[in-house]
Structure 1
């Protein structure tokens, strides 16, 4: 699938890294969670990225996660990995991703350093050229490339997409109307459903969905309502599900990751509310709030196979 030079489209699955009480990776839980996303029709799997606590994984754990994702996907959907941080490690893990049969990777920011645009270009170019896998740029934090630098990178055939997590809409509009025919554009903002009404009209019709990890049928319902112009349904989903969950997410740093795990545990999936430092687990009161939101959501938008 890596030779299909096109970014995945639709709702993109970003599995968590399920850890047990001793902080060890639970392989069976990860396989089950990926299978759950596939059964729910998500269009791609992005393994060991931000929600997968990329920054906390050892090389052996990263390798495990990639192997499990490729095995679970079985060629039915593309599998992308996360690479980034230290340049040498990023290249090593890109090569490992190719060795393990992944279809591409998402380029996460380099560690700590705020580089000049030429430095960011060289960092990204070095990673992209290291393999023949598809590559997607992730615009966020201290690694946001200008339109000019992205244009330079489009000379590389491996580059298939750009994911935005910075929220610079002036830049996004320029990218869309200049390079939208060349690159797939993905919304990667925290809890992307919140910003999709602004992103979809300019061509960012694909996104990473945190809530799809535990209420994927509602994520799908929202996605279809948005693209089909069902404003009333989209408004209702915002009111009763999306904005209330987002209000909890904003309460603590790191909840963009750990709140996913809490939601999965509440919904009876094989994941515990355990994260590695510096990410903290969701506090009990916030878990209770989330449980109430999900109970009401399931009552209002039921799915026969799902229950709290």
Structure 2
């Protein structure tokens, strides 16, 4: 499965009655697709997977698949309690997804053998291949990823932990297993800040929550990154991403909350976030508006 471009994680819009707003979701995905993402990941972290029922997640994936219409791969989230993860995986397959992103299990931390079993159980639940998400209570050792790389249904690794040394060893271990088809993603929050380092260890792809909120600026950064235009990349980094990260770090969960707020400020009424996340205060929202304005001015 080939990913050629920035990875797009859409939000899940909610209407005034806290239901998934299907029409607005299709509009959100459709307009953002115009900026050329390399893959779309619905009902994942930015899409509030943690707060969606199985039926809601399936609805989000189905509407995304229909909107994307085969232009790029669609990778749906699956994780949490194992029974729920299996149900969501099967529903995503029925909805037409191309692959699954295996999110961490619910609450418990298991040994490496248990994490391997968790991934393999989700992979076995449908015909879809899976991408391993390395973060929180699901951090995979080099040996665990070497083992999983022997399973042809495991096709990728997304790093959300930020340990560059371990990531480098995992890249090498997978290569030693003969997997030249494996996709590696930088999945850290606001990955634009760290992607230069990740590219240096053989991880060329990154996800961008900012792409869901302000795709024109995120795409400009991606073009500069691909072209090796460091002056332009650093201009966007200093003028937009650094102040965005400073605001994001003020409150847990703002990696999602700010994205939905930015969309609302841009005229797309996607609603607020579901608990346990919270929306920004009026003062924080005002600062986000200033950051967005500054980002657009750089274009």
Summarize deviations over 1:79-110 as a string: whole Å, max 9, x none.
Answer: 11100111111112111111111101100000
Comparing 262-271 with 106-115, which one deviates more in the overlay?
262-271
Residue equivalent to 1:304: none
Secondary structure of the equivalent of 1:47?
coil
Secondary structure of the equivalent of 1:91?
helix
* Residue 292, structure 1, aligned to residue 290, structure 2: yes
Cα pair 2:7 2:208 within 8 Å, conserved = yes
Cα pair 1:9 1:205 within 8 Å, conserved = no
Cα pair 1:9 1:43 within 8 Å, conserved = yes
Residue equivalent to 2:229: 230
Cα pair 1:7 1:136 within 8 Å, conserved = no
Cα 1:41/1:270, change in 2 over 3 Å: farther
Aligned equivalents of 1:229, 1:77: Cα separation in 2:
24
Residue equivalent to 2:216: 217
Residue equivalent to 2:256: 257
Give ranges in structure 1 of 5+ residues lacking alignment. 1-5, 302-308
Residue equivalent to 1:71: 66
* Residue 112, structure 1, aligned to residue 107, structure 2: yes
Secondary structure of the equivalent of 1:167?
coil
Residue equivalent to 1:281: 279
Runs of 4+ in 1 over 3 A off after TM superposition: none
* Residue 143, structure 1, aligned to residue 138, structure 2: yes
Aligned equivalents of 2:46, 2:10: Cα separation in 1:
7
Cα pair 2:130 2:155 within 8 Å, conserved = yes
Alignment of 1:182-193 (within 5 A): 182-193=181-192
Cα pair 1:66 1:102 within 8 Å, conserved = yes
Q: Find 1:53's aligned residue among 48, 71, 77.
A: 48
Cα pair 1:38 1:73 within 8 Å, conserved = yes
- TM-score in terms of structure 1 length: 0.92
Post-superposition offset of 1:7: 5.1
Residue equivalent to 2:201: 202
Aligned equivalents of 1:227, 1:67: Cα separation in 2:
31
Cα pair 1:163 1:185 within 8 Å, conserved = yes
* Residue 38, structure 1, aligned to residue 43, structure 2: no
Residue equivalent to 1:306: none
Summarize deviations over 1:134-160 as a string: whole Å, max 9, x none.
Answer: 210000001011111111111211111
Aligned length: 295
Residue equivalent to 1:157: 152
Aligned equivalents of 1:92, 1:106: Cα separation in 2:
14
RMSD: 1.3
Aligned equivalents of 2:204, 2:233: Cα separation in 1:
15
* Residue 174, structure 1, aligned to residue 169, structure 2: yes
Give ranges in structure 2 of 5+ residues lacking alignment. none
- TM-score in terms of structure 2 length: 0.95
Aligned equivalents of 1:122, 1:155: Cα separation in 2:
14
Post-superposition offset of 1:163: 0.2
Aligned equivalents of 1:168, 1:222: Cα separation in 2:
23
Post-superposition offset of 1:248: 0.6
* Residue 11, structure 1, aligned to residue 2, structure 2: no
Secondary structure of the equivalent of 2:104?
coil
